[in-house]
Amino acid sequence: MKKKIVVLASGNGSNAERIITFFRENGLAEVTLVITNNPKAGVLERCHRLEVNTMVASRDDFYNNQLIFNKLKNIHPDLIVLAGFLWLIPAEIIRAFRDRIINIHPALLPAYGGKGMYGHHVHEAVIAAKEEKSGITIHFVNEKYDQGDILFQADTLITPDDTPESLAEKIHQLEYRYFPEIIESLL
């Protein structure tokens, strides 16, 4: 029986698409649902094209009326994957799915993590600090932004001519390469 993955995404969805296609090719698992908190997120179009079920959820659905909690309990996913999801996961969901929720962060944690540190904000901060390298961190999700136990890190060198945009592209390549593999190893 195939393992079940639920993906949470807030943006473009390129990592979600990579995860969907990776597991369609290897057959180990299936992304059964993609949940977004953004009704205009690019991930919705990607999922429509790939014929993957989606759900747009409000803040109330996550934090007040238990809609997301109950949906996840009904699906009983083997893994919940945050791929560019910007809200803090409620403690109730974390307790119910302990060590089954992971996130990918576009920097080498513990540096450049926490509330507000996502996407271009991270890359701008890394470049401004004149860091020599950056990378990705895949970690378990706990009750605090970007503070769960680290599962995997990969890095890339930053050159003097890198911009936040060029660094973002380097980070995306690391994400696309390693995120599906780490998910596979957890399953």
Catalytic residues: 105
- Rounded to 5°, the CA angle 96-100-101 comes to 95
Residue in the block written with tokens 């390469």: 177
Nearest to 106 by CA among 162, 41, 153: 153
End-to-end CA distance of the chain: 12
Q: Which residues pair with 5 in a beta bridge?
A: 31, 79
| Strand 29-36, strand 54-56: pairing | parallel
Nearest to 10 by CA among 60, 80, 82: 82
**CA distances to 29, 130, 141, 145 from 155, in Å:** 27, 15, 21, 21
